[in-house]
């Protein structure tokens, strides 16, 4: 190679490598999860009510102020509460209006049970039953044309937009000719929608999956009006409500948006359209102002609207920190005579969580028992794990025989949970050898901070499931080059990677490794192993050979520093 080419090559190696936090990059959820959300919607809401009980929503006392004229009057009024939840709409109504009778349905059995267990529940006033309005015929539970008022409060948003017409048609059967549908639900532009957009949780247009698997649709005026008109309703009122919700303890101000509407059955004479209706806008810090859509003129203030969501909504909708004991689950592993109890993010949140470090990946699960059976791999060595995540199980096993172990990750939430796992699983003197550090691959400050603590470098660098994004490969090997120890007569420093090939193939990994001075000396499995005794990795497995080891598509690559 000429000197000019060598200089060019050296210059390429010295170019700064982009910093990277490994997150998923898809704009929408995968077809698998989209279908799973639809298929198991009932289960997700049932888990929701089992978890939150009646603590999520505030009781909706504003119904009397906003829609009192529909509930009052001579004679008994019959009400259907669609998606009754824990009864936050039902029981304020029966307390105020002594003559009303309420049918309450929800497709979550846990929600219906909460209604029936409420201290104010009585069968003479409330008929609570399980019903999926996209499948079940309401007229089999309630007489046709017998209901005066249908309330739909934050419920239609949980239904796939493709099935919303089925719900509207279902309630149309049991509504009296002069009945009303009272509607309140999320509006497009709500802060929660913006946050879900940022988390790549979009299912379809204006339709999103939350972290717990429940779903939320955000209504535009046009969509909502068309939905009801196409199914035999006219728009009587349509309000856009904008509020600033302040959480002083968290020092947050959140802009929330809802749509509130009243629909009546169409008789062919009332042809009110969205453009002819007035939209009332509730502005933060003011009374609600009325806006004429055609002329864009603010009219007189009217009564303010209350916000019916508890702090739990801010937690769920806005991705604010929650109790780790609620959102996490514990995985128990028996390894090398040790019992590890590893706290990770609950499965119900893993599919939509951006951080990949809050779960236990299959490669770590596979490598942990291999390493536990072979403590000599780490004996007397300084060990660094890249992308250990919250579990850090391989690092904790290494600490049993190593002199020093650094478990690192670029995600602070993963590191917080990792620290908790280490404290609950390791005891002195093993825990004294264990250190957790933030390390974003390619971040010079993070690398230098680790060098200051361990200036001699690391004898073993380990990574499990850290090679699945192409943009991560160069920063990974650059960081390993900076932190691996120099070879000496006693040992050769090694980089060990375990993974399944996803978006990055083996030639790409080997090319990046070579660029930063790493040579592949062994890999597992191989189709033909001429001399098993010469394989470093094969010696880690039982005597009957690696062919019997259940590994699925997992692979191990073993590098030496050249």
Alpha-carbon 227 to chain mean position: 29
Q: Distance between CA 352 and CA 355 in Å, rounded?
A: 9
Q: Are 176 and 145 a contacting pair, CB within 8 Å?
A: yes
Q: Are 151 and 119 a contacting pair, CB within 8 Å?
A: no
What per-residue confidence (pLDDT) applies to 491? Answer: 77
31-318 matches 323-561 in fold: yes
Q: Distance between CA 357 and CA 469 in Å, rounded?
A: 14
Fold topology of 31-318? Rossmann fold (3.40.50)
Picking from 260, 83, 240, the residue whose alpha carbon sits closest to that of residue 158 is 83
Q: Per-residue confidence of the chain (562 residues) as pLDDT tens digits? A: 333 333 333 444 444 443 333 333 446 777 888 888 899 999 888 888 887 676 666 677 778 888 988 998 778 899 999 999 888 888 989 889 988 999 999 999 999 999 999 998 999 999 999 999 999 999 999 999 999 999 999 999 999 999 999 999 999 999 999 999 999 999 998 877 877 776 667 899 999 988 778 899 999 999 999 999 999 999 999 988 887 666 555 455 667 788 999 999 997 544 444 444 444 444 433 333 333 333 332 232 333 445 554 444 444 444 433 444 446 788 888 887 888 998 888 765 555 556 678 888 888 989 999 999 999 999 999 999 999 999 999 999 999 999 999 999 998 888 989 999 999 999 889 989 999 999 999 999 999 999 999 989 999 999 999 997 888 999 999 999 999 998 666 678 999 999 887 778 889 999 999 999 999 999 988 755 555 567 888 889 876 444 444 445 788 999 998 8
Task: Say whether the peptide bond before residue 322 is cis (omega within 30 degrees of 0).
Answer: no
Q: Are 153 and 122 a contacting pair, CB within 8 Å?
A: no
Q: Distance between CA 414 and CA 421 in Å, rounded?
A: 10
| CA distance readout (Å), 223 to 226, 230, 257, 345, 420 | 5, 11, 16, 36, 47
Q: Distance between CA 395 and CA 418 in Å, rounded?
A: 11
What is the DSSP track for 496-522? EEEE--SSS-HHHHHHHHHHTTEEEEE
What per-residue confidence (pLDDT) applies to 517? Answer: 94
What per-residue confidence (pLDDT) applies to 230? Answer: 96
Picking from 173, 314, 161, 331, the residue whose alpha carbon sits closest to that of residue 247 is 314
Picking from 65, 54, 56, 66, the residue whose alpha carbon sits closest to that of residue 91 is 54
Element (H, E) at 362: helix 362-373
User: What is the value of pTM for the model shown?
Assistant: 0.54
Task: Please name the residues in contact with 445: beta carbons below 8 A apart, sequence gap of 6 or more.
Answer: none
In this structure, CATH architecture of domain 323-561: 3-Layer(aba) Sandwich (3.40)
Picking from 425, 434, 421, the residue whose alpha carbon sits closest to that of residue 358 is 421
Task: Please name the residues in contact with 460: beta carbons below 8 A apart, sequence gap of 6 or more.
Answer: 377, 378, 381, 382, 383, 384, 398, 402, 493, 494, 496
Phi, psi torsion values for 164, nearest 5 degrees: -65, -35
Q: Distance between CA 284 and CA 458 in Å, rounded?
A: 57
As given in the structure block, the two tokens for residue 557 are 């690559």
Angle, in degrees to the nearest 10, between helices 444-453 and 470-483:
30
Task: Please name the residues in contact with 386: beta carbons below 8 A apart, sequence gap of 6 or more.
Answer: 408, 439, 441, 461, 462, 463, 466, 476, 479, 480
As given in the structure block, the two tokens for residue 54 are 């009646």
| CA distance readout (Å), 412 to 331, 344, 387, 440 | 21, 14, 12, 10
What is the DSSP track for 272-332? --TTTSEEEEE-TTS-EEEEETTTTEE---BPPPPP-B-HHHHHHHHT----HHHHEEEEE
Provide the residue ranges of all domains of the chain, joining segments of one domain with +: 31-318, 323-561
């Amino acid at each position: 190679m000429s000197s000019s080419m060598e200089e060019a090559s050296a210059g390429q190696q010295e170019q700064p490598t982009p910093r990277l936090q490994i997150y998923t990059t898809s704009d929408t959820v995968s077809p698998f999860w989209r279908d799973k959300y639809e298929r198991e919607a009932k289960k997700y809401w049932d888990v929701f009510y089992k978890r939150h009980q009646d603590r999520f929503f505030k009781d909706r006392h504003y119904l009397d102020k906003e829609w009192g004229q529909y509930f009052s009057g001579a004679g008994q009024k019959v009400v259907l509460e669609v998606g009754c939840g824990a009864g936050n709409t039902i029981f304020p109504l029966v307390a105020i209006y002594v003559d009303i009778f309420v049918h309450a349905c929800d497709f979550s059995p846990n929600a219906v049970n909460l209604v029936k267990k409420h201290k104010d529940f009585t069968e003479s006033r409330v008929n609570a039953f399980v019903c999926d309005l996209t499948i079940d015929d309401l007229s089999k539970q309630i007489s046709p044309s017998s209901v005066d008022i249908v309330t739909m409060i934050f419920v239609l948003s949980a239904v796939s937009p493709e099935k919303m017409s089925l719900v509207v048609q279902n309630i149309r059967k049991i509504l009296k000719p002069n009945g009303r549908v009272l509607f309140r639900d999320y509006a497009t532009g709500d802060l929660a929608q913006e946050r879900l957009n940022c988390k790549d949780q979009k299912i379809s247009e204006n339709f999103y999956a939350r972290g717990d698997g429940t779903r939320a649709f955000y209504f535009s005026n046009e969509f909502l009006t068309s939905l009801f008109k196409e199914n035999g309703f006219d728009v009587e009122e349509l309000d856009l409500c904008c509020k600033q919700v302040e959480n002083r303890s968290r020092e947050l101000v959140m802009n929330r948006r809802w749509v509130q509407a009243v629909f009546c059955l169409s008789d062919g004479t009332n042809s009110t359209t969205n453009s002819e209706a007035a939209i009332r806008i509730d502005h933060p810090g003011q009374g609600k102002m009325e806006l004429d859509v055609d002329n864009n003129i603010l009219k007189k203030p009217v009564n303010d609207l209350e916000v019916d969501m508890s702090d739990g909504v801010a937690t769920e909708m806005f991705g604010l920190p929650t109790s780790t004991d609620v959102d996490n689950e514990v995985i128990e592993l028996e390894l090398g005579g040790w019992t590890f109890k590893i706290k990770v993010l609950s499965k119900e949140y893993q599919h939509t969580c951006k951080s990949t470090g809050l779960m236990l990946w299959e490669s770590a699960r596979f490598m942990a028992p291999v390493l536990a059976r072979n403590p000599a791999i780490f004996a007397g060595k300084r060990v660094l794990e890249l992308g250990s995540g919250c579990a850090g199980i391989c690092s904790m096993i290494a600490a049993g025989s190593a002199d020093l172990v650094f478990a690192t990750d670029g995600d602070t939430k993963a590191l917080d949970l990792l620290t908790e796992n280490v404290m609950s699983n390791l005891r002195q003197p093993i825990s004294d050898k264990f250190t957790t550090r933030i390390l974003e691959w390619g971040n010079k400050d993070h690398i230098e901070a680790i060098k200051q603590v361990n200036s001699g470098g690391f004898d073993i660098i380990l990574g499990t499931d850290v090679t699945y994004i192409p943009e991560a490969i160069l920063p990974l090997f650059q960081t390993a080059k900076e932190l691996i120890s120099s070879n000496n007569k006693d040992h050769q420093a090694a980089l060990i990677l375990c993974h399944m090939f996803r978006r990055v193939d083996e030639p790409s990994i080997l090319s990046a490794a070579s660029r930063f001075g790493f040579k592949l000396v062994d890999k597992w499995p191989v189709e033909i192993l001429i001399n098993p005794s010469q394989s470093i990795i094969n010696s880690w497995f039982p005597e009957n050979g690696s062919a019997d080891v259940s590994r699925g598509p997992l692979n191990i690559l073993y590098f030496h520093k050249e």
